[in-house]
């Protein structure tokens, strides 16, 4: 590792640690630890949401997918972006009105009870961990490829950084690390886009012509069908993408970090602006990578195309730019995993420890201590897992996360907020059927059952690698059938009414102890 790389990395680590130190002095209460006491503005939170959402898989993976597969690679990013409208239209404001720190709070505002809370905590915990492990594994592999550092060392560095941010700085440090990441990522990609265009004298047609020369697909690069031959597969993926975000706990708990619904809406809309511009830029980078670097070299460096962006940076700007882009990729990774650590921590320490073990009676100080220890434990355990999984192909876990979120959390949230006939039994059956169906169909599908390198070496029983189109309806059906099979909610009519008033207007008609 040469000095340029070293300086960039030290600079980023120092910056984020200074943020953490500053945040640590301000994270003295549970409210501040979990939600930064609602102190962020809409724009800041929008940037943090973008920072939470755009993973290294988006940054490097989509550039690579576009470079290798053309049009179909770009389709991925569209689904990620449009999904924010579902969050904005259905979920965002009610979640902000009803919840305090976690999604468990939101559901338990209507269906209080230990089982319900435990179920929501398990859901949030599973989704966060399932998403975190592949990110950690991918980051270890990436840093090894980029910098020639040993896999275990890079995983340990990233694992300890994310743990330090959350343990000491809580949500405040996490948010600001994510905001810094968004700024660095957007400006870095913008710079790279300008360089790519200047290479072709700002002539888009020249770029497109060079793309056709660079790709073995020729003119077919610009046509659909290079990645998704099966229409059903594509539809299924798009369905999971558009509904998945609205069930991701690490995105939804960010809605507690602003003070009112106006800021909630500003958060989501500014996130869509940032993410939209970002995906347009990744398109240019994908085109630039295939035009300037060329197909053979991209595939030779990494067959999945994940190194397209770094290779492009090296080709147009030499080692210095490569170091800069690598540092950006590194920041991207730590910001995303820190967001996942805090969402898993909230699920465990707020829902399980505070509400279930201590029956909601632990003091502010106990809550804070519990949260810090939980964050430490989660960081430690997931780093250990990531170390063990070096040689496993775990990338499918990322798409699994979206499917689990879209088929368990999303139906239950949606029906809780909007459906009057919904009841506790329905919420439980919805969560359980969504979770189980996702796992069953992924295990039976080509990710796991695969003659060529799968965990179970045999023909897949279920043909789609994205089972969303089957699993999401199962989640909804589970919730609906469960509600109809059980007697109508025994809860007082008045309480239900209070719930709906609070969900849709934020007006609490009754003073609550919690």
Partner 1 sequence: MLDEHVAKLIDKKKRFVLPMLVFLFAFYFMLPLSLAFFPDVMNSSSVVFQITWGWLYAFLQIPMTWIVGWLYCRNAKQLDQWIEERKQEVVS
Number of residues that bind partner 1 (CB under 8 A): 38
Helix (H) or strand (E) holding 461: none
Helix (H) or strand (E) holding 52: helix 42-53
38, with CB counted inside 10 A (0-12, 13-18, 19+), is middle
Question: Among 25, 388, 421, 504, which residue sits at the site for partner 1 (rule: CB under 8 A)?
Answer: 504
| 400 within 8 A of 434, measured Cβ to Cβ | no
- Three-state SS for 149? coil
If the CB atoms of residues 269 and 393 are measured against partner 1, the closer one turns out to be: 269
Of 332, 344, 426, 435, which is closest to residue 383 (Cα–Cα)? 344
If the CB atoms of residues 82 and 149 are measured against partner 1, the closer one turns out to be: 82
Question: Among 5, 8, 34, 84, which residue sits at the site for partner 1 (rule: CB under 8 A)?
Answer: 84
Structure tokens at 338: 């820190």
| 136 within 8 A of 449, measured Cβ to Cβ | no
If the CB atoms of residues 33 and 221 are measured against partner 1, the closer one turns out to be: 221
If the CB atoms of residues 436 and 501 are measured against partner 1, the closer one turns out to be: 501
If the CB atoms of residues 137 and 243 are measured against partner 1, the closer one turns out to be: 243
Q: Near partner 1 by CB under 8 A, which window of 23-31, 121-129, 265-273, 460-468? A: 265-273
Window 224-263: residues binding partner 1 (CB under 8 A): 224-225, 231, 234-235, 238, 242, 261-262
299, with CB counted inside 10 A (0-12, 13-18, 19+), is middle
If the CB atoms of residues 93 and 351 are measured against partner 1, the closer one turns out to be: 93
Structure tokens at 282: 């990744």
Closest approach, Cβ 174 to partner 1, in A, equals: 25
Closest approach, Cβ 286 to partner 1, in A, equals: 13
Structure tokens at 191: 């710079």
Sign of dihedral through CA atoms 331, 333, 338, 343?
positive
Closest approach, Cβ 172 to partner 1, in A, equals: 26
If the CB atoms of residues 222 and 439 are measured against partner 1, the closer one turns out to be: 222
Structure tokens at 182: 């968004």
| 70 within 8 A of 226, measured Cβ to Cβ | yes
Question: Among 81, 162, 186, 336, which residue sits at the site for partner 1 (rule: CB under 8 A)?
Answer: 81
Q: Give yes or no for residue 266 binding partner 1 (CB under 8 A).
A: yes
Closest approach, Cβ 418 to partner 1, in A, equals: 9
Distance CA 253, CA 96 (A): 9
Give the per-residue contact string, 135-174, with partner 1 (x = CB under 8 A; - = no): ----------------------------------------
If the CB atoms of residues 131 and 228 are measured against partner 1, the closer one turns out to be: 228
Distance CA 159, CA 386 (A): 9
Strands of 127-240 (E only): list them. none
Window 386-425: residues binding partner 1 (CB under 8 A): none
Alpha-carbon distances, residue 465 vs 129, 231, 360, 400, 444 (angstroms):
21, 13, 42, 10, 9
Question: Among 13, 15, 24, 85, which residue sits at the site for partner 1 (rule: CB under 8 A)?
Answer: 85
Closest approach, Cβ 85 to partner 1, in A, equals: 6
If the CB atoms of residues 243 and 322 are measured against partner 1, the closer one turns out to be: 243
If the CB atoms of residues 165 and 279 are measured against partner 1, the closer one turns out to be: 279
Question: Among 41, 269, 450, 486, which residue sits at the site for partner 1 (rule: CB under 8 A)?
Answer: 269
Of 471, 409, 389, 427, which is closest to residue 155 (Cα–Cα)? 389
Q: What is the 3-state secondary structure (H, E, C) of 275-337?
A: HHHHHHHHHHHHHHHHHHHCHHHHHHHCCCCCCHHHHHHHHHHHHHHHHHHHHHHHHHHHHHH
Q: Give yes or no for residue 75 binding partner 1 (CB under 8 A).
A: yes
Q: Near partner 1 by CB under 8 A, which window of 8-16, 31-39, 124-132, 503-511? A: 503-511
Chain contacts with partner 1 (rule: CB under 8 A): 71, 74-75, 78, 81-82, 84-85, 88-89, 93, 222-225, 231, 234-235, 238, 242, 261-262, 265-266, 268-269, 272-273, 276, 279-280, 497, 500-501, 504-505, 507, 509
């Amino acid at each position: 590792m040469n000095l340029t790389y070293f300086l960039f990395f030290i600079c980023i680590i120092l910056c984020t640690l200074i943020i953490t130190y500053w945040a640590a002095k301000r994270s003295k209460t549970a409210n501040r630890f979990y939600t930064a006491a609602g102190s962020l503005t809409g724009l800041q939170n929008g940037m943090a949401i973008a920072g939470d959402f755009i993973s290294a898989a988006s940054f490097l993976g989509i550039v690579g997918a576009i470079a290798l597969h053309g049009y179909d690679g770009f389709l991925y990013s569209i689904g990620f972006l449009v999904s924010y409208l579902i969050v904005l239209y259905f979920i965002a404001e009610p979640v902000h009105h009803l919840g305090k720190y976690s999604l468990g709070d939101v559901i338990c505002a209507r269906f209080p009870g230990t089982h319900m809370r435990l179920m929501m905590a398990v859901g949030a915990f599973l989704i966060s961990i399932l998403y975190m492990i592949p990110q950690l594994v991918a980051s270890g592999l990436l840093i090894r490829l980029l910098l020639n550092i040993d896999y275990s060392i890079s995983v340990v560095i990233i694992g300890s950084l994310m743990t330090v941010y959350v343990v000491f700085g809580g949500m405040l440090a996490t948010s600001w690390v994510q905001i810094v990441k968004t700024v660095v990522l957007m400006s870095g990609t913008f710079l790279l886009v300008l360089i790519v265009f200047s290479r072709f004298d700002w002539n888009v047609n020249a770029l497109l012509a060079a793309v056709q020369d660079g790709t073995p697909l020729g003119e077919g690069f610009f046509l659909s069908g290079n990645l998704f031959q099966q229409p059903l597969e594509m539809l299924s993926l798009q369905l999971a993408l558009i509904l998945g975000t609205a069930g991701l706990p690490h995105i939804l708990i960010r809605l507690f970090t602003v003070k009112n619904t106006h800021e909630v809406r500003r958060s989501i809309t500014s996130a869509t602006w940032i993410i939209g511009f970002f995906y347009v830029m990744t398109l240019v980078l994908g085109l630039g990578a295939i035009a300037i670097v060329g197909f053979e070299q991209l595939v030779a460096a990494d067959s999945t195309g994940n190194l397209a962006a770094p290779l492009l940076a090296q080709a147009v700007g030499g080692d210095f730019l490569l170091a800069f882009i690598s540092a950006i990729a590194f920041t991207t990774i730590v910001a995303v995993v820190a967001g996942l650590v805090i969402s898993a921590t909230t699920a465990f320490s707020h829902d399980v420890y505070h509400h279930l073990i201590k029956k909601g009676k632990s003091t502010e100080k106990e809550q804070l201590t519990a949260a810090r220890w939980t964050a430490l434990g989660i960081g430690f355990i997931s780093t250990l897992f990531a170390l063990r999984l070096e040689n496993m192909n775990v990338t499918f876990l990322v798409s699994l996360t979206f499917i689990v979120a879209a088929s368990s959390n999303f139906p239950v949230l949606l029906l809780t907020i909007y459906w009057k006939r919904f009841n506790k039994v329905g919420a439980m059956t919805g969560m359980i059927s969504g979770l189980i169906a996702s796992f069953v169909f992924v295990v039976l599908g080509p990710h796991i059952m695969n003659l060529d390198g799968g965990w179970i070496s045999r023909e897949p029983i279920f043909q789609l690698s994205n089972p969303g189109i089957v699993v999401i309806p199962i989640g909804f059906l589970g919730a609906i059938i469960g509600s109809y099979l059980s007697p109508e909610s025994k809860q007082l009519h008045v309480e239900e009414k209070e719930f709906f008033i609070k969900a849709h207007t934020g007006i609490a008609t009754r003073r609550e102890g919690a």
